[in-house]
Amino acid sequence: MPINPAAAANAYAALGRVGADIGNLGRSGAGAGGPLGEGPSFSSILKDVVSAVSQVGAHADTQTHAAAMGKANMIDVVTAVAESETAISTLVSVRDKVIAAYEDILKMPI
């Protein structure tokens, strides 16, 4: 399944929107002067990101199976697997940062 330029542009645009939503999380609280509940919730952003990583992994699996049957270009397979690896390592890095921030909050004196 080759990726056309329009699909790639749409994927990058969706990723940019998710990044913008994450950047606006700190600005939507009461400390920023706006009411709470404004903008997307953390859980919805997290769900979207995990879904996107899952889709990238599924695409890599599809490319790998197609290559095993001789129906896919190896360049497409390598690209899909590299994208999947990058997405997963990014997700793991974000998870590690969230856990570290949570542990820092637990260490704060009351």
Res. 26: pLDDT tops 60: no
3, two tokens: 């990726």
Residue 13's alpha-carbon distances to 7, 9, 18, 31, in angstroms, are 10, 6, 9, 29
Q: To 10 degrees, the CA torsion angle through 34, 21, 42, 35?
A: 10
- Residue 41 contacts by C-beta under 8 Å, 6 or more apart in sequence? none
Q: How does residue 21 score in pLDDT terms, banded at 50, 70 and 90?
A: low
Measured CA to CA, the distance from residue 74 to residue 86 in angstroms comes to 18
What does the alpha-carbon distance between residue 59 and residue 39 come to, in Å, rounded to a whole number?
Answer: 30
Cα(89)–Cα(69) distance, integer angstroms: 28
- Please report which confidence band the pLDDT of residue 32 belongs to, taking 50, 70 and 90 as the band edges: very low
Least confident of 10-14, 23-27, 39-43: 23-27
Q: Mean pLDDT for the chain?
A: 79
Residue 7 has pLDDT above 70, yes or no: no
